[in-house]
Structure 1
Amino acid sequence: MCSVLGVSTGVQLYTGYNAVSDQHISRTSEDINRALDTLPATLSILDNQIITRRQESELIEILNYLFPAQHYNHSALLFADSTPLIRIDNQRSITNVPQWFQSLITIPEHIEKRMVNNNNYDVGIIEVSASSRWAYTKYWQLFSNTLISHLFLMLAGGCLIYIISKKHFASLQRLTTRAQNIDNLNQAPMPLPEESDIKTIVRAFNKLTYQLDVNFKNQANEAVKLREQAYLDPISGLGNRSFFIHQISSWLDESHKGGLALIQTTLISDYYEHKGYQAGDKLIKQIAARLNEVIIYNDATISRLSRDEFAVLIPNLSSEKLTLLGKMILKIFTNIERNSDIDSAITTDIGLVYNEARLTPSQLLTQLDNALTQAKLTPHESIALIKDPTSHDTLGKQQWKQLLEQAINEDLFQYKFQPATLENRSIYHYEVFTGIQKNKDFYSAGQFLGAIEDLKIGSWFDRHVIVTIINRLNADRTIGPFAINVTNSSIADPSFIRWLDKLLANNTQVASRLFFELQEISCIRNTDATSILCSTIKRHRFGVGIDNYGRHFQSLTYLKEINPDYVKIDYAYTYQLNDQTKSAVLSSICRTAHSLDIKAIATRVETETQLERLSDLFVSGYQGFITEKYTQLEKV
């Protein structure tokens, strides 16, 4: 529309200029013709060589009448031989037209001469110079009126087009926003607009979004099936022996403090023998369901090791609670035995191991077998506990609480930082590991986190660490990014989320240099609280990560809801990469994260061989001793 109006304006102004110029000339010609009708009889006196003053005055008056001063710069009468007789000059400046317009547009004055003839005799000459003042005035009026009218038309047309196109623009804006967030699968289908052309595009977008969602779910389900094949007992739905051993390895590397239980029962074999395989399978599923109901610890691992053996691992569990748990498990089997109609003698034995030493998985499994053997030797109790006699750590829960309070009040915390490195060897972040230094004793987080979670005081600890790290980031803009682990008890604490919301709102300047790392179990068992916390963190543009990714057998579709920046792969998948089945599982769960543009970071990478194998399995980065030794910083 602007182009059309621009061309129209140009044409009108050009045509108007020519018309005014032609009118300027034709007006002069008309005035001279009128003068030639009037002057001949009067100019007969020009035959005389001398004229009187009165005659000269009459001629001047006639010339002023015929050629007004406002239209002519000068008018003159000459004898037939071009001898000057009378000349009237009327030079006037043009005051009603802007000077810039006169400089831009040139309209020259028009000079014209005519012979005056009387009775076929040439008696004199009329010479006039038509002023361009009139032409400038006319053309300025035309110019300004044309511009004003076209600007009005342009404005009115623009408003009309805006009103007509407003719906189109709104649909296109929604379409653009959806295109920018096409990788976000948590989106409802777009409503169909009224415009037929855009409606086709919206249908295509909705179909594409739906297909992406289906592909992600299929990929997540494929990853779950691969994990189940490698690590799941198909009957009970619990982890198998291989999964349990890997979880023990991971736990021993993290904290090595906690309890284990090995359960062996003759009930299952008797069911299979007397009631058949269908009844035996049903019994195994019943036992698994009851174990999951009773063992409510977030980080517990329950596995079926063989036909009649079950095992349990609970990190950071006290020996007292382990003993209590053994009795509860025994009660499960006792109740099932009472409700069965098997006549043969049924025995259930439970071996318990409380560990605080850094042992190997095989050493720990040997202790479990020894505890089970002891339980069988005391049939009147059926439970035996082996407690690690080498432990130097005998603090109870209340002592840990007092130590934590003292550490917060006296600032006894020390921080170590381990880098997480991307494929291009750039540092993605430094994970913060917190310990307590009291006199000559050093307590790592793995030693006291269990007590913190038991006492539900994780928010004390988390608040202190978060404030300390944020203060350090504010004080030094060259450090970071850091990743802070958040305890499960803090995630379930609404007051902690409100506190964190206010803190982050006041410190958005460090958002790009701080991540918050959550345990995968929180995403599965505390989904609503975890979603609220993640929304709070991301609203202020801080980062979110998931630790122990893939440890649990639930679906990985929680990634769509949480949408973290990165996940850290559970150690069970990065250990023994020569196993093709385990490599396939690792590749599948990494590909699931990769499809949502989430970085997958392998943990505890210690050798170049591990690094080379991981580079082929959709792993975005790695963390461990191979990247860099822990960096000790001074107390904050």
Structure 2
Amino acid sequence: MIGWSRFGTLEVSAHTGNTYRQLYSTLIDLVQTFLMIALVVFLTLYMLLSVSLQSLKRIKKQAKSILDNEFIIEKKIPFTTEFRSVTTAMNAMVEKVKDIFERENETLLRYHELLYKDSETKLHNRRYLAAKLPDYLQSDASLSSGTYVMISLDEIDRLKREKGYERYNIVINALAEALNTHLGSFRHALIARLNESDFFVVLPACEIHSITPQIENIISKVAHVIVGIDGEILDYLLIGCGVGTYNENDTLKALFSRADHSVIQAKQCGKFVVEESQANDSALVLGRDEWREELLKSLEESRMLLAFQSVVEQRADALSVIHEEIFLRLLDREGTIHSAGYFIPVATSLGLIDTLDHYMIEKVLKHIKDHNPITPLALNLSGDFVKKYANIQWLREQLESFNRHNDLVLWFEVNNTIALNELEAVSAISAMVKRFGYRFGIDHFTIPEAGAHYLQTIRPDYVKANCAYLQDMMFDQDTGKSRESFNNVIRSLGISIIAINIEEAQDVEHLKALGIEQFQGSFIAPVALL
């Protein structure tokens, strides 16, 4: 360095902090980038898994519905091959089962109409009356007392011969229409044509004095129709009408015999006469106010007793009790025990039937706590109890507070007519008791004119049907072969069948041959106090 004087030596070096700062900045950028990528990947995977899980949940729900015998078609088909195959297969199976149910239901309805309907008037026939009346007359039914009406026409063959089938048909259908118009609106009314000239009506829980004016209107209307088509018919056509009462002590034979006698008496008195025949009924001794006081007192004094009847299952040589149905018995002040048919119709007319249901439920729950039984108990709920929402809420509270000491299962039942008329309420009760792990059934079951679709809504565990009705529906007497439609419709919904009103050993044998294994009736076990 010429001309310069060395002052010193300067050394320049890079600071490592800058490098570290750059490295740190780069690391942060990488971490943020990876986090963003991870978040995007996670969200993508979450969405894919959610879609897959939703498909799995729908598959699980559909599988559970199939196990519960519900016909649910899954409309959302999964996009994955495996899930799509499973859903498609289950949909095909459900469609097949549903198709079988619909076809068997249609077959059953056609057979039901052929078996139980009069072809000319579309009223029920004598066979239906014979199959249904035992359900009305049994001593523990609320329908076990009321009024019957029998109308009979004489010289009906002469009418057809001299005036032709068309005018005969007008007269017969005018009578059928009048019966439906004036009496069909009564609760649980049963109207049937016994034969070509005789008609029979059963009106549960109706008093005879309220029915007689209706019958007179019917007779008058038919006479007016006859005058309108040909007044000469009145010269020989004789119409007689017998009106009377029935109760739980009547048999089919006794009831028809009494009705025939009253009709004969009416015909002897004239052409359009209504003859009343009041049966002896000790329940009529008390007035309404006295009955109300007696029933309320019996509840206060615990004179309303619990009784039961066993329902059994018979397989091969093994016999087991599947449940015991609970009934009420009235112990009067003289110490006499009366069946439910003695006081239930009166309690129904007084609006006290749901009060009796409250009493029965409380007594049964107390009995279970005190005695810890191992056999399930079945309680039959009335229509008045079912149709009130407050009663359903009360029942839920009772079951929630009920402490089960063992695996005892309570069974609840409603009459088939109640199930049809109060479908929404009955479905709610059925779902509720099943949530508690209990069972639900329909008593006095018959296929209604609309078909068995209402069973899909209620989902009962079992139905109880009269043994005569079951034999009619499941056995073809013309061919001597069993009919599978009834069995297929009921079994396809996972419902078991219990035959009731078993009174003879041959009833059991006939039903066992048709695949029925569960029975209830006086032949199986009598009603006894609990």
- Give the TM-score category using the shorter length: 0.7 to 0.9
Change (3 A) 1:491 1:475: same
- For residues 342-361 of structure 1, the aligned pairs below 5 Å read 342-345=231-234, 347-356=238-247, 358-361=249-252
Give the match for residue 525 of structure 1: 421
How many Å separate the matches in 2 of 1:275 and 1:184? 59
How many Å separate the matches in 1 of 2:282 and 2:350? 22
Give the match for residue 437 of structure 1: 331
Q: Which moved more, 1:194-203 or 1:232-241?
A: 194-203
Give the match for residue 498 of structure 1: 393
CA-to-partner distance for each residue in 1:64-87, whole Å, 9 max, x for gaps? xxxxxxxxxxxxxxxxxxxxxxxx
Is 1:404 the counterpart of 2:295? The answer is yes
Indicate if the aligned counterparts of 1:462 and 1:487 stay in contact, CA closer than 8 A.
Answer: yes
Note the residue ranges of structure 2 that are not aligned, 5 or more in a row. 1-36
Give the match for residue 514 of structure 1: 410
Deviation, structure 1 residue 580: 4.4
Deviation, structure 1 residue 547: 0.8
- For residues 290-305 of structure 1, the aligned pairs below 5 Å read 290-295=178-183, 296-305=185-194
- For residues 527-546 of structure 1, the aligned pairs below 5 Å read 527-546=423-442
Among 169, 180, 205, the alignment partner of 2:64 is 180
Deviation, structure 1 residue 552: 5.0
- For residues 27-46 of structure 1, the aligned pairs below 5 Å read none
Deviation, structure 1 residue 351: 0.9
Indicate if the aligned counterparts of 1:492 and 1:526 stay in contact, CA closer than 8 A.
Answer: yes
How many Å separate the matches in 2 of 1:551 and 1:389? 34
Indicate if the aligned counterparts of 2:476 and 2:483 stay in contact, CA closer than 8 A.
Answer: no
Deviation, structure 1 residue 404: 1.5
Deviation, structure 1 residue 364: 2.4
Deviation, structure 1 residue 322: 4.3
How many Å separate the matches in 1 of 2:89 and 2:95? 10
Among 142, 160, 164, the alignment partner of 2:48 is 164
Give the match for residue 516 of structure 2: 619
RMSD: 3.6
- For residues 87-166 of structure 1, the aligned pairs below 5 Å read 161-166=45-50
Indicate if the aligned counterparts of 2:385 and 2:391 stay in contact, CA closer than 8 A.
Answer: yes
Deviation, structure 1 residue 539: 4.2
How many Å separate the matches in 1 of 2:340 and 2:242? 28
Task: Give the count of matched residue pairs.
Answer: 483
Is 1:598 the counterpart of 2:495? The answer is yes
Q: Which moved more, 1:604-613 or 1:214-223?
A: 604-613
Q: Which moved more, 1:212-221 or 1:285-294?
A: 285-294
3-state SS in 1 of match to 2:124: coil
CA-to-partner distance for each residue in 1:16-52, whole Å, 9 max, x for gaps? xxxxxxxxxxxxxxxxxxxxxxxxxxxxxxxxxxxxx
Is 1:456 the counterpart of 2:330? The answer is no
Indicate if the aligned counterparts of 1:230 and 1:581 stay in contact, CA closer than 8 A.
Answer: no
Deviation, structure 1 residue 214: 1.9
Deviation, structure 1 residue 574: 5.4
How many Å separate the matches in 2 of 1:267 and 1:534? 52
Kindly, what percent of the aligned residue pairs are identical?
22
3-state SS in 2 of match to 1:619: coil
Give, as a single letter, the amino acid of the residue that structure 1 aligns with 2:285. T
3-state SS in 1 of match to 2:507: helix
3-state SS in 2 of match to 1:210: helix
Deviation, structure 1 residue 180: 2.5
Give, as a single letter, the amino acid of the residue that structure 2 aligns with 1:603. I
Indicate if the aligned counterparts of 1:551 and 1:572 stay in contact, CA closer than 8 A.
Answer: no
Give the match for residue 326 of structure 1: 215
Is 1:309 the counterpart of 2:198? The answer is yes
Is the radius of gyration larger for structure 1 or structure 2? Answer: 1
CA-to-partner distance for each residue in 1:128-162, whole Å, 9 max, x for gaps? xxxxxxxxxxxxxxxxxxxxxxxxx9999887544
How many Å separate the matches in 1 of 2:46 and 2:379? 50
3-state SS in 2 of match to 1:303: strand
Give the match for residue 15 of structure 2: none
How many Å separate the matches in 2 of 1:515 and 1:506? 17
Indicate if the aligned counterparts of 2:327 and 2:340 stay in contact, CA closer than 8 A.
Answer: yes
3-state SS in 2 of match to 1:264: strand
How many Å separate the matches in 1 of 2:146 and 2:203? 6
Among 443, 449, 458, the alignment partner of 1:547 is 443
Deviation, structure 1 residue 181: 1.9
Q: Which moved more, 1:329-338 or 1:572-581?
A: 572-581
Indicate if the aligned counterparts of 1:419 and 1:623 stay in contact, CA closer than 8 A.
Answer: yes
TM-score (norm 2): 0.79
Is 1:556 the counterpart of 2:452? The answer is yes
Give the match for residue 192 of structure 1: 76
Q: Which has the higher contact order (CA 8 A, sep 6+)?
A: 2
Indicate if the aligned counterparts of 1:407 and 1:436 stay in contact, CA closer than 8 A.
Answer: yes
Indicate if the aligned counterparts of 1:437 and 1:443 stay in contact, CA closer than 8 A.
Answer: yes
Deviation, structure 1 residue 546: 0.6
Give the match for residue 259 of structure 1: 147
Give, as a single letter, the amino acid of the residue that structure 1 aligns with 2:212. T
Give the match for residue 388 of structure 1: 279
Deviation, structure 1 residue 569: 1.0
Indicate if the aligned counterparts of 1:473 and 1:479 stay in contact, CA closer than 8 A.
Answer: no
Give, as a single letter, the amino acid of the residue that structure 1 aligns with 2:201. V
Give the match for residue 25 of structure 2: none
TM-score (norm 1): 0.67
3-state SS in 2 of match to 1:382: strand
Change (3 A) 1:505 1:187: farther
Give the match for residue 304 of structure 2: 413
Is 1:610 the counterpart of 2:495? The answer is no
Indicate if the aligned counterparts of 1:237 and 1:285 stay in contact, CA closer than 8 A.
Answer: no
Deviation, structure 1 residue 596: 1.0
